[in-house]
Structure formats: structure tokens, C-alpha cells
Structure 1
Amino acid sequence: MSDVAKKVGVSPITISRALRNPEIVSEDLRQTILRTVDEMGYIPNLAARALAGRHNGTVGVITPALHQHGFAGLMLGIEDRLRATEFGVQYSNTLHHADGEAGQLKSFLMQKPAGVIIAGAESYHDLLPLIEKAACPIAHITDLSQEPERLVVGLDHHAAGAEPTRFLLSRGYQRIGFIGGGTDVRSRRRREGYEAAMREAGRFDPDLAIGADAAGTTGLGRELLTRLLARVPDIDAVFAQNDELALGVLIECGVRGIRVPENFGICGFNDLEFSAFTEPSLTTVHIPRYEVGYRVADMLLRAVRSEPPGEEKVDCGFSVIPRGSTR
């Protein structure tokens, strides 16, 4: 940093300010400093920064689903909110393994991060003691039934399972199946919501629900529908845990000559981009994933800067998007 300062003709503290709080340095000087940093190959030492200050300048994000399409919107929201700040982002992927969540949080906390976002924990049993003792703020994306009460952006996944089921019932479908590709807490809550709505309508049958402890892929959607039709031939609709599964159901219906939506309805979940462009287009449940990511990052940033948090627990909501795969 001293070498960069000498070349630019300013003090080392000005270099530090330009890199950590760019808004307090003039635009021309900041551009000169950044250009010189690039030319000289200067890379900040985060370990040294952590020793010298309160944190290492990074925000840790723990997620169970970095590999899944649905996480992309969350990630974009988080990064857009943090991009113009002095903070970088570091990700850790638990792959839905609850026993690894506490270890990954410990690993982040050992590095003295500015803060941590837990984007979908399976269980808070082992996390809460760590969160209570953490030296940095920790924000959360959760099902609203879970424990955290502050710095939370969440969704009622029980309601997000019940509402699309009621929608399918309102369109005249009666033997509505449920197919799932995961056993995490959010998937379980959506299945419970589906079952509650079917019971309310007097149409619950445990044989109508089928799942697999595997990633919810298009291929799995085809497989699960095949198994479900063998078990319940008179099924006339499916609520799928995600749009990839729903796409598999739609493809399998096409192979079998099942008319969608006239004789068979399909509703997915997540409102991924392709769902609007299939033929027919997929009815699905829209989650404002970008807004969730942006808002939880904003909550965390305010906490790091000791600013008023605004709302401390936010229900981001959801909406059923009717399209061509339902009557």
C-alpha cells in the first residue's frame, strides 16, 4: 500500500480509503489509485486487514443450493447490493447437509468477516449458540417458522404449498398429486401446505404424493410422474416442488399423449425464466428471489455500519402465476 501511495503521490491512508470507502475519495483520484493498483498488481491481504481492524472486508454467504438455478436470483440481489461497497462476497455450499452448517459458519467466523448471510439453513439447533456469540452481524433467509427473529427475510413455505394447491382445485382438478425432489425444511413445509389444502377440500389421499431424496431435475420429474401414474392412474394434476420437476412432468405428458391443460394440470415452483416459454407455458409460483437477496444484504450492511435496520423480519411473499399448463 505504501508503494502505491508513493507512485500516486498521496498518503497510504488515502489509498486505504479509496479501497475500503470509495465514496469519500474524489472520482478522479479514485480512478488513478485503482489504475495504479492494477498496474502494480497490489492485492489486499485480508488476514492482515482482519488483524488490524474489526473485520476482513468480506461477507460470507452460506447456502444449501449454490448449484441450483433458483439460487441465481438471490445471489444477484446480494451482489448488486454489495457491489458498490467496500465488501467482497464469499460463498459456502452445504448441499442441504444440516450437520455441515455449524462447521461452515465456524469457518467463516474464524476469518473475522464483516458479516454472514445464512441463506436457507436446515436447522438452527447448532447454529444459534454460534450466532449469539458471533462478533459480527448475521442475517438470514428462512422459512418464517424457523427461529431467527431479527435480520430475517423469509417466506411462509406452508402457505406457498397450500395456495397453488387451492388454485389447482379452483380450476376443476380433483386428483392432484404432489412431486418433490428434496427433504429440506422448505420442501417439507410446502408438502405440508399441499396436504392441508387437500384435507380442507376433502380430497387428501397419501398415495397422491411422491418424492425422492435427490435434486429436483427434469429427469426426476419424468420418473416421478411415471411412478405416480402407475400408482394412481386417475390423477389429473400435479403440483411440483420446482420448475425443473414441472418441466419433466410436462415432457412425460407429451410422450404419453396426455393433453395439458385439458385433461391434466401442472403447477411448478420458482418461476424460472424457461417456465414462460415452454409449450404450453408453465403455471408456477413466483418468489421475488432478487428482492430477497438484495434486501437481506441491505439489512446486513446496515447492521455492519451500525445504522437503523428498518424492519427486522420481512415476509417477502409469493404469487401464483397462471399460465398455459392449467385450465
Structure 2
Amino acid sequence: MKNSGERGRKAKRGMQVKLSDVAKKVGVSPITISRALRNPEIVSEDLREEILRTVEEMGYIPNLAARALAGRHNGIIGVITPALHQYGFAGLMIGIEDRFRGTEFTVQYSSTLHHAEGEAGLLKSILTQKPAGVIIAGAESYCNLLPLIENAACPIAHITDLSQEPHRLVVGLDHYAAGAEPTRFLLSRGYSRIAFIGRGGDVRSRRRIAGYEAVMREAGLFQEDLIIGGDAPSRIGLGRELFSRLLERVPDVDAVFAQSDELAFGVLIECKARGIRVPEDVGICGFNDLEFSPFIEPSLTTVHLPRQDIGHRVADMLLRAIHDEPPGEDRVDCGFSIVPRGSTR
């Protein structure tokens, strides 16, 4: 015959453990448990250890909605990115996670899948949950976001283009320069029919296109047909497709500045399939300096971005704002560098 204790445990199976259940087990008030979970340093070490042990044993999960009602925020850091699956954003996420790991905050990611029309709705949805703060990691367009940003009850930090965006709490780089300098580099290596391929819909890409175009016009080499883009996210297959379309329009193209290393890798694969020599016939420069870029053959010339450092800096900036600490710099330029490798002369 089963005892009443076993029956009691079975009856509770599937029921959510409440804060009051933890408090009863520990022998203190629910408010003491709540305060100890938010600020562990306010209770003694022995009590803190007992509370944490009981929380783990009972499987207590804090109610974020209740936490938001009781205080200024629910402890969530909302991060909005254009795409979670792209390699270029992985380094940013690692940097952000590094800084919030071990804090009272939980990072929650959301993706717009590069749809500008969905950005405002997504940000509004996050803000209604009373987050501690938000990081917008590369918006497609800020036009629809500005009213929400200006009236938000929490700090919002941005990873974006520094050459024109007026927001506070911004970390990033000058994307106009990041389009101009690689173009100058390719010209210096003897290339002249330099194409620009990639998405043109978001703020950063538009600024890089503007930088590329300015340098090509200055050199007297600009041609509209040398710019070719697509609405799909950067993928290797898209790189092959865009380069094939480019060759139909400009058969004598001699260099490609691709807006991601994935696109550049696709261009390289298409060149090999067509018997086009790289870098002799066509030079290729990517963007992002992803992990595989030094190891393909030929190794990929690219633009290096300190993605993990950008993640660190934006998280640090947001943490200071959340805690009402002096902001320090509220616009941080992390810069970029060109990494010459085997895919260019």
C-alpha cells in the first residue's frame, strides 16, 4: 500500500511549483525568497544556498510576467536580429551571451528574417513584455521603429551603421567606409571591372553600396550593370546565382566585392565550375571574415569585422544603461580591416 506522502507527491505532479511552495519548504516568507532570487547578496550565505537548493529540487521557475508586474522589468534582454541562421550573426550572439552569462538577465532572441515590415511589430511585442533592455542587431529600416524607440520604457542599444544613424547607445562601424575601402583595395590590385553583389535592402548594405559607387565614380569606372542584388538572405547558392546573372550582363567583369563570405564562396564555386581562374581572371573579396574563409582554396580575401567584440561592447553599454550608470561612450566604432588572401592578386 502506498503511503500518503507518495500520494501527495503524485498529486502534485504536473502542477506548477509556486513561490509560496518554496517559501514554505525553506521556512521563510515568499517575499524573502523573491528578494533573495533577485538580489542573492541580501541574505546570508547559508540561507542563499538553502534557497537555491530548494529551488532546484522543487523545479521552481520564476514567473516572468509576475516579476514584470512587481517591478520595472521582467529580467529579459530582447535581441532582434535580421536572421539567426547566418554565420555573420553568430559571433555577435557569442559576445552578447558572454556578457550576460552569470547576471540576473536572460537573453531572448527574435528574428525578422530580413522583413522590414515586421520589425516594428516584433519590437512592440517585446516592449509590451517589459524587458530590462533591448538590442537591435541590424535593422532593415529605422523609419517605423523610431516612435517605439523614443517612447520605450527601457534602454535600447543598436548594432548598426555609424555613418548616419543618430541614435544613442550605438555600436558598429562606418559601413560607407566599409564599402569604399575594399573597392579601393581591389583597384590597387589592378582590377577595374569591379562588381558589387549582395542584398541592398537594409541600412548597412545601402551605405556600403554608396561607398562602392563613390569610389568607382571617382575612378571613372562606375557602371550600373556592375551592381547586382537579391532579396534573399546571403547563402552560397545565391552567390552562384548572382554571379551567373552578372556574367550575362557584364561578361568581362574582373573582380567581385561580395557582401558576405557565403556569397563570395558561391562566386568562387561558380568560377571553378566555369573554368574561370581566381585570382588571375576574377578577383573575389568577401565580407565578415568567417571561420572557413582562410581554409578554402584559394583562401578568401575579405573584410574582417570584430563581431564578438561588437557583441561585448553593445552588451556592456546596455548593462550600464539598465543600472543607470554613467554611459561612457554612447557611440562606439569597432572598425574593420581588409584581410588580403589568395582570392585576389
TM-score by length of structure 1 reads: 0.93
| Alignment partner of 2:291 out of 273, 276, 292 | 273
How do residues 5-154 of structure 1 correspond to structure 2 at under 5 angstroms?
5-8=23-26, 12-22=30-40, 30-154=48-172
How do residues 189-204 of structure 1 correspond to structure 2 at under 5 angstroms?
189-204=207-222
Structure 1 unmatched runs, 5+: none
What code does the residue aligned with 1:257 have?
G
For the structure 1 residues 28 and 280, does the alpha-carbon distance in structure 2 shift closer, same or farther, using more than 3 Å as the test? farther
Q: 1:171: Cα distance to partner?
A: 1.0
Q: Which residue number in structure 2 is paired with residue 252 of structure 1?
A: 270
Q: Which residue number in structure 1 is paired with residue 21 of structure 2?
A: 3
Q: 1:235: Cα distance to partner?
A: 1.2
- More moved, 44-53 vs 136-145: 136-145
The DSSP-based 3-state class of the residue aligned with 1:274 is coil
| Alignment partner of 1:222 out of 216, 237, 240 | 240
C-alpha contact 2:38 2:104 (8 A) present in aligned 1: yes
Residues in 1 aligned to 2:213 and 2:47: alpha-carbon distance in whole angstroms: 61
Q: Which residue number in structure 2 is paired with residue 206 of structure 1?
A: 224
C-alpha contact 2:141 2:202 (8 A) present in aligned 1: no
C-alpha contact 2:175 2:208 (8 A) present in aligned 1: yes
C-alpha contact 1:182 1:216 (8 A) present in aligned 2: no
Residues in 2 aligned to 1:201 and 1:33: alpha-carbon distance in whole angstroms: 69
Q: 1:10: Cα distance to partner?
A: 5.4
For the structure 1 residues 249 and 29, does the alpha-carbon distance in structure 2 shift closer, same or farther, using more than 3 Å as the test? farther
The DSSP-based 3-state class of the residue aligned with 1:238 is strand
C-alpha contact 1:182 1:215 (8 A) present in aligned 2: no
What code does the residue aligned with 2:162 have?
L
Structure 2 unmatched runs, 5+: 1-18
| Alignment partner of 2:315 out of 288, 297, 308 | 297
Aligned alpha-carbon RMSD (Å): 1.9
For the structure 1 residues 28 and 169, does the alpha-carbon distance in structure 2 shift closer, same or farther, using more than 3 Å as the test? farther
Q: Deviations over 1:84-119 (max 9, x none)?
A: 210111122112222222211211111111111111
What code does the residue aligned with 1:58 have?
I
Q: Which residue number in structure 1 is paired with residue 326 of structure 2?
A: 308
- More moved, 206-215 vs 317-326: 206-215
C-alpha contact 2:237 2:263 (8 A) present in aligned 1: yes
Residues in 1 aligned to 2:269 and 2:41: alpha-carbon distance in whole angstroms: 52
For the structure 1 residues 323 and 21, does the alpha-carbon distance in structure 2 shift closer, same or farther, using more than 3 Å as the test? farther
How many residue pairs get aligned? The number is 327
For the structure 1 residues 66 and 28, does the alpha-carbon distance in structure 2 shift closer, same or farther, using more than 3 Å as the test? farther
What code does the residue aligned with 2:237 have?
G
What code does the residue aligned with 1:33 have?
I
Q: Deviations over 1:142-175 (max 9, x none)?
A: 1124444311112211110111111111111121
What code does the residue aligned with 1:133 have?
N
Q: Percent identity?
A: 81
Residues in 1 aligned to 2:26 and 2:210: alpha-carbon distance in whole angstroms: 62
What code does the residue aligned with 2:275 have?
G
The DSSP-based 3-state class of the residue aligned with 1:273 is coil
C-alpha contact 1:140 1:148 (8 A) present in aligned 2: no
Give 1 or 2 for the bigger CA radius of gyration: 2
- More moved, 199-208 vs 144-153: 144-153
Residues in 2 aligned to 1:172 and 1:181: alpha-carbon distance in whole angstroms: 26
C-alpha contact 2:163 2:176 (8 A) present in aligned 1: no
Q: Deviations over 1:234-264 (max 9, x none)?
A: 1111100100110011111111222212222
For the structure 1 residues 39 and 227, does the alpha-carbon distance in structure 2 shift closer, same or farther, using more than 3 Å as the test? same
The DSSP-based 3-state class of the residue aligned with 1:136 is coil
The DSSP-based 3-state class of the residue aligned with 2:293 is helix
- The alignment status of 1:233 with 2:245, answered yes or no, reads no
Residues in 2 aligned to 1:33 and 1:263: alpha-carbon distance in whole angstroms: 68
- More moved, 147-156 vs 270-279: 147-156
Q: Deviations over 1:253-301 (max 9, x none)?
A: 1112222122221100011111111011101111111111111111111
- More moved, 44-53 vs 176-185: 176-185
What code does the residue aligned with 1:54 have?
R
- More moved, 33-42 vs 216-225: 33-42
